[in-house]
Amino acid sequence: MNRTSTSRAMPLTGIATALALLTTGCAVDGEGGAAAHGSDTGEPLRVGAVEAAGQTVDDPHGSLFNESDWLRLSALYDTLIGVDTAGDPAPGIAEEWTASDDATTWTLTLRDDAVFSDGVPVTSADVMHSLERMDALSAENGQRLGTVSVGESSAPDDHTVVLSTTMPDADLPRTLAGSAFIVPDGTEDFSDPIGSGPFNLTARADQGAELERNGEWWGSEERVDALEIRGFESPQAMSSAIESAEIDIAMGVDPTTAAAAAEEFTVVQRENETTTPLLMRLDEEPFDSPEVREAVKIGLDREELVETVHLGYGTVGADLPQPADPSAPDLQAPERDVDRARDLLAGAGVDEDTTVDLHTTSAYPSMPVAAEAIAEQLGEIGLSVEVVEHDPQTYWSETYTQVPFSIGYNAYMPYPVWARQTALSTSAFNETGWQDELFDEDFARALATVDEAERNEILGELQTRFAEEGGLVAWGHGDGLSIVRDGVEGVSDAAGMARVRLVGVTR
C-alpha cells in the first residue's frame, strides 16, 4: 500500500487558534465518539511540562531531554514494548515476547491490529526500520536499545521480530519498555508525523502541540477526545499557568508550588522519582583522590538537604542512583562527620585556599537549590565552593559530564538502563568518569543471569561498590510531583515511563 499522509499538522499562531479547531464539537470515532469513553467535555485536556534542555525535537529516536517531548511522542507513537500503570513492561506493538535459554535471542510477536494514522498496518518492517534508526543515533539517545544487535536481528515475517543481543540480557524487556518508538518504514522526516499511538497530531508550535483522539488505536483504555501539550521554559512559568487555569495538569512542579497548591488542587506524588546527584569526576582534580570523595560524602547533612531542597517530599539517599529498583541493596546513608571530613581533606592536600566550582542550572527546580545548600555545607568542612549557574538551554550539551564538579538530574529508570547509560566504560553519559573493566564484566555477568534473584544480587553488589568508591553522591531522592485540577482523573502515581502515559487520564 502506498503511504499518503493524512496528518493535519499546521503551524500555530497561538494556542487559541488551534483550540478553536479542536473544540467545535465532539468527534465521533471508531469506538463510538465521546459518549463511549466517559464524561469528556470535548474541551482539550491541557498538560504542561518543562522544556529543560532547550528546543523541542520531533525525532523520537534521538536525544530526548524534554519532558514535553516525551509526553507528545508517547501520545503519537506506539512503542515496541509498552508500560502499564505501574511502569512495568506491558504489550505494545509486541503482544508477547520470549527469550532463549541463554537470553541472547528474544522472539517478539507483533499485534495484527495496529494501524498508522494514514491507514497502513504496522508490520515488522516498520519495527526494524525504527530499531535501525535508534541504533544509528545511539550516541544521542544514550544507547536506548541497550544490548540489541540490530545487524544480527531479523524479521522472518510481517508479525515476528527476532532480536539478537551483543551479550546475554535477561532484563531486555525493561530496557525497551516505553522508549522504543515505532515509526513507518523509511521515515526520516518527522515534521508531519505518522504514528499508530493513541492520539494524532493536528497542530504544532515550538512550545505547544494539539492532538486528537485516534479512533483506530488498538488500545481499549479510556482517554480524552482532545489533548494539548504545552512546554514551559521554567517550572515557575508552568506553576503560574496552572494557578491561572491555563493548564489542567502541571507535570514535575517544584515542592514549594506543590505545598502551596495542596489545599486547592490534587498533588500526585511519585515516590523517589527524581535524583539531583552531586557529580565528582574521578579523572579530574581534586576528585581523583578517594579521600576527597569520601570527605564530600560524609561532609553533607543529607536530612537537611532533603528538607531544604524537597521540603520533605523525598527521602535521604545512600548514594544509590535508582533506590526503587528491585536490585537496589539496603544501604545506610553515610552519617555526617565534619571533623573526619576536614582531616581527609587536609591529608589530601586540600586546604581552605582551594576553591572548586560547582556547576548547575535552573533546568529543574531542585538543581540550583541543591547547589547552594551543598556549597554551604561543604564550606563547613573546609572546602570552598563557588556555585556557577549555567543557561538551561546549553547546560546539558556544553557543561554536563564535561566539568569536574556538577549537579546532575535523572528520573527513575531501571538500574541496568541507568548503568548502561551512565556507569560503564562505554556509556554515552559517563557522568563521573567511572572506568572499571571488572565492573563492566560483572555487569555483563548479571545481565546473563536468567534467575532474577541471582541477577539482582549481582547488580546489588555492583551498586554497593559504586556507592563506596564512585563519584556520584545521591544524597536524597525527590518525589515526582504533579498538580492536577479538579475533574481530572487517572494521572499515574508510578515513577518511570508510566508518568508520560496519557491514556487512562480522563475528565
pLDDT given for residue 312 in this prediction: 86
pTM: 0.77
- pLDDT tens profile 72-94: 999 999 999 999 988 899 999 99
CATH code given to domain 273-478? 3.10.105.10
pLDDT band at 1 (very low <50, low <70, confident <90, very high): very low
Is the pLDDT at 7 greater than 70? The verdict is no
pLDDT band at 239 (very low <50, low <70, confident <90, very high): confident
pLDDT given for residue 402 in this prediction: 96
3-state secondary structure 55-72: CCCCCCCCCCCCHHHHHH
pLDDT band at 102 (very low <50, low <70, confident <90, very high): very high
pLDDT given for residue 86 in this prediction: 85
Is the pLDDT at 6 greater than 60? The verdict is no
- pLDDT tens profile 25-56: 333 333 333 333 444 556 899 999 987 545 67
pLDDT given for residue 28 in this prediction: 32
The superfamily in CATH containing domain 42-248+485-500 is Periplasmic binding protein-like II (3.40.190.10)
The percentage of the chain sitting over the pLDDT mark of 90, rounded to a whole number, equals 73
pLDDT given for residue 22 in this prediction: 33
The b-or-e profile of 85-113 (16+ CB within 10 A means b, else e) is eebbbbebbbeebebeeebbbbebebbee
> Of all helices (H) and strands (E), which one includes residue 466?
helix 452-469
pLDDT band at 343 (very low <50, low <70, confident <90, very high): very high
- What is the average pLDDT value for the chain, to the nearest integer? 89
The b-or-e profile of 292-319 (16+ CB within 10 A means b, else e) is bbbbbbbbbbbebbbbbbbbebbbbbbb
Nearest alpha carbon to residue 290 among 469, 29, 165: 469
Looking at per-residue confidence, does 14 or 346 come out higher? 346
pLDDT given for residue 206 in this prediction: 75
pLDDT given for residue 41 in this prediction: 57
The angle subtended at Cα 310 by Cα 309 and Cα 315, nearest 5°, is 115
- pLDDT tens profile 286-322: 999 999 999 999 999 999 999 999 998 999 999 999 9
- pLDDT tens profile 368-422: 999 999 999 999 999 999 999 999 889 998 999 999 999 999 888 899 989 988 9
pLDDT band at 63 (very low <50, low <70, confident <90, very high): confident
Cell 485536556: give the residue: 45
pLDDT given for residue 436 in this prediction: 96
Question: Residue 355's beta-bridge partner residues?
Answer: 384
Is the pLDDT at 223 greater than 60? The verdict is yes
Is the pLDDT at 3 greater than 80? The verdict is no
For the chain, give every residue range classified as CATH 3.10.105.10. Answer: 273-478
pLDDT given for residue 26 in this prediction: 34
446-454 long-range Cβ contacts below 8 angstroms, 24+ apart: 446/416, 447/103, 447/147, 447/167, 447/168, 447/169, 447/170, 447/171, 447/416, 448/102, 448/103, 448/167, 448/168, 448/169, 448/170, 449/170, 450/99, 450/101, 450/102, 450/103, 450/168, 450/170, 452/170, 452/326
C-alpha grid cell, residue 367: 538543581
Range with lowest mean pLDDT among 54-63, 104-113, 135-144, 448-457? 54-63
- pLDDT tens profile 427-473: 989 999 999 999 999 999 999 999 999 999 999 999 999 999 999 99
For the chain, give every residue range classified as CATH 3.40.190.10. Answer: 42-248+485-500
Looking at per-residue confidence, does 266 or 352 come out higher? 266
